[in-house]
Structure 1
Amino acid sequence: MSLIDLRSDTVTLPTDAMRQAILDAELGDDGRERDPTARRLEQLSAKMLGKDEGLFVVSGTVSNTVAVMANVREQGTVLAHEKAHLLVAEMGAISTVGSLFYKPVPGANGAMDLGALRAAIQPKLKDGQLPTVLIEVESTHNYAGGRALALDHLAAVRELADEFGIPVHMDGARIFNAAAALGVAAREIAQYVDTVSFCLSKGLSAPIGSVIVGPAETMARAHAIRKMIGGTLRQAGVIAAPGIVALEEMVDRLGEDHAVAKRLAEKLQAIDPALANPDDIESNIIMVDLSKSGRDAAWFSEALKPRGVWTLPNPTSTMRLVTHRHISQDDADQAAQIFGTLWNEQG
């Protein structure tokens, strides 16, 4: 029985071209004169997103932490969507490492309500409240089911941030999925924020790494902060080389993953309309609503494992499915059939 792994797009394996790039990579000491392959990756990333400079780091959490710290100049509060990955899934990194505080802002589909965002902004230290030092946005939004923030929403956030002189950082772990969903180049999304972090190791299929891009001055600070937290790399080209392949060869195929996700959602809706709505699928993430069953997502996830389908349960009755290049249309059909059998057994 073949395994259908829908837990995350982080399970993707490097392509043959990536493996060869590792062997062929030109190397140097990135902590001294810089590794030439890592620099190529950083420069390519900056160019693709319309920014001055890039910085290669080992993970998404590191990229968000370094980027946030590089943007701020004083202790204060970071505003982010109430379900932002930065707030709920990064072990409080910006608080522990950066001595910064969080303030969640409500909003539908991963987009902060603009009125609530304005109300949450504290322009300066006053009455015992720390000033707002950064606004963070996320696109696509993980816990909102892979929604891509609309460009007009990002423009409104940018306008509000500029009104108060506050920088904006984007957790763009899947920004290239967002670009595919919106039908625009990634740089059109990135234009509304100061810095962007994105992952190479999700749908782009590189084995490791994330990149931060932004203005030259901010990125110089980011470089110093990376060193401070122990993130300086030596012969970084070994892991940067597949990242170059990822950006050059894997971006344009992400729409295929989105099509598979929509197909899977359609199959689930056919089993029970309460499970999923294909109209909600904008990228490669499906949130399956299991509340009608009376069982939690962890139960379903464990029950599906021996049947050959791996999923990621959320703490309640929602199960996350993520499509990627190892999941074909046939895999989606088979996964839906297996799930349907289990679902009907509970009915």
Structure 2
Amino acid sequence: MLHLQSIAKYLPGPPIHSAELEARMGWPAGWIEKNSGVETRYHASPTDSVIGMGAQALSSALAQADLGPGDLDLLLFAAGSIDYPIPHSACLLKAELGWTQYDFPAFDVDATCLSFLNGLEVAAAFIESGRYARVAIVTSELPSRSLNPEDRKTYSLFGDGAVAAIVGRSQIDRPTDTYFVNYAEGAKLAMLPAGGNAMRLNHRQNPEADYYFQMKGRHLLKLTFKHLDQFIASVEARFGRSIRDYARIIPHQASRLGMDMFIKRFGLPGGQVQLNLPRYGNCIAASIPLGLCDAVVEEGLPPGSEVILMGTAAGLSMGAITLEV
């Protein structure tokens, strides 16, 4: 089973309160918290970058564990945000940190909001096979630059942030429990149309809205809850226990409505479910590890506790994985 050896976060600048954002955008006072539940979020400055934020988080995670780059066997960059399409972000992260003398492998894992979980799944496969002993996973998200100011629902919901985790093998001698599924009827319910070969950025005849993130939130929520009961039943059957049996449930923070429906539908105690949407907003793949970081570092979740990380992603994908902290 995977064991969390260290975790640290990086948040760009001071928090932006919803009242401040409403005043700046000319929106009605109180609209954001009423509709999205987000009280504060962080937006990167013009000098911040995906790689720069990730490097800050990784440096902190290594220092926390008294480790250096020579102690790593693999670096995974697991996020939906990028600074450049080519090269991949993991190698840029090594370069940013000045690790040019270290040749351990580095590559990216992108499953939008589930990227961190899929990164953990990749790490578990390598570690439990005995190929690697210690893996760093960095998730750095900067959605604020891809949001349309005219789309009040998305512009007020998302935030920026980065998290780095160092994982290794637990003393619990069993495989890491993982379960991931995809329902392709939701493939285009959340997307950023421009930027790939289907819609090149230099084709300026494209509609302006296609250069920003687009999400059909209610359609996504409806599709999620169409499949959620079966997904949770499959997770519990495969993992051999109820989701209520874990020390903490750390879900993706997609929306307040989605979180409220999830907790109510499965009768979960409020204190067992990690809630950080009001504090950070939806930080894409960084939402889940931000919750994990807060539970471990700020709230002092006891060492040896087993947690379950779970969520949804554009696609529509769902996933869950367990971890010992």
| TM-score, scaled to structure 2 | 0.29
Larger Rg: 1
More helix by share: 1
More strand by share: 2
| TM-score, scaled to structure 1 | 0.28
